[in-house]
Homo-oligomer: A and B are copies of this chain.
Amino acid sequence: MFKINENYLKLPGSYLFSTIGKKVAAFTKANPDKKIIRLGIGDVTQPLAPAIIEALHSAVDEMGQAETFHGYAPDLGYEFLREAIAKNDYKDRGCQIAADEIFVSDGAKCDSANIQEIFSGDSKIAVCDPVYPVYVDSNVMAGRTGAYDPKSETWSDVIYMPCTADNDFVPEFPKETPDLIYLCYPNNPTGSTLTKDQLQQWVDYANKNGSVIIYDAAYEAYISQENVPHTIYECTGARTCAIELRSFSKNAGFTGTRLGFTVIPKELKCKDVALHALWARRHGTKYNGAPYIVQKAGEAVYSEQGKAQLKEQVAYYMKNASTILEGLKSAGYQVSGGVNAPYIWMQTPKGINSWEFFDYLLEKANVVGTPGAGFGPSGEGCFRLTAFGTYENTLAAMERIRQL
Contacts and interface: CB of A to CB of B under 8 A. Distances in A.
Number of copies of this chain in the oligomer?
Answer: 2
B3 A179 contact: yes
Contacts of A143: 121
A53 B45 contact: no
Interface stretch (A68-76, A321-329, A368-376): A68-76
Contacts of A286: 109-110, 113-114, 134, 138, 141
A122 interface: yes
A216 interface: no
Nearest to A8: B278
B134 A270 contact: no
B41 A69 contact: no
Contacts of A338: none
B2 A270 contact: yes
22 contacts: A1-B179, A1-B270, A2-B179, A2-B210, A2-B270, A4-B118, A5-B120, A8-B278, A8-B281, A11-B281, A18-B284, A45-B71, A46-B69, A47-B69, A66-B390, A69-B256, A71-B253, A71-B255, A109-B287, A110-B288, A134-B286, A256-B291
Interface of A: 1-6, 8-9, 11, 14-15, 17-18, 41, 43-48, 50, 53, 56-57, 60-61, 63-66, 69-73, 75, 106-107, 109-110, 113-114, 117-123, 133-134, 137-138, 141, 143, 179-180, 210-212, 253, 255-258, 270, 273, 275, 278, 281-282, 284-294, 390
A53 B56 CA distance: 11
A147 to B, nearest CB: 18
B2 A180 contact: yes
B293 A18 contact: no
A345 to B, nearest CB: 21
B63 A60 contact: no
A66 B50 contact: no
Contact of A138 (B15, B17, B60, B285): B285
Contacts of A294: 291
Contact of A4 (B15, B17, B63, B275): B275
B47 A285 contact: no
A284 B14 contact: yes
Contacts of A73: 256
Nearest to A124: B2
B256 A292 contact: yes
Nearest to A15: B284
A2 B211 CA distance: 6
Contacts of A291: 256-258, 291, 294
Contact of A48 (B1, B63, B107): B63
Given A3-B270, A137-B285, A56 B63 contact: yes
A47 to B, nearest CB: 4
A319 to B, nearest CB: 16
A107 B288 contact: yes
Contacts of A117: 5, 141
B64 A47 contact: yes
A94 B50 CA distance: 45
Most buried by B among A72, A113, A118, A143: A72
A177 to B, nearest CB: 9
B43 A72 contact: yes
Nearest to A107: B288
B8 A288 contact: no
Given A109-B288, A293-B56, A64 B50 contact: yes
Contacts of A134: 285-286
B47 A53 contact: no
In the complex, the 9 A-B pairs of residues with the closest C-beta atoms, listed nearest first: A1-B210, A3-B120, A113-B286, A2-B179, A43-B71, A15-B284, A53-B64, A71-B255, A70-B256
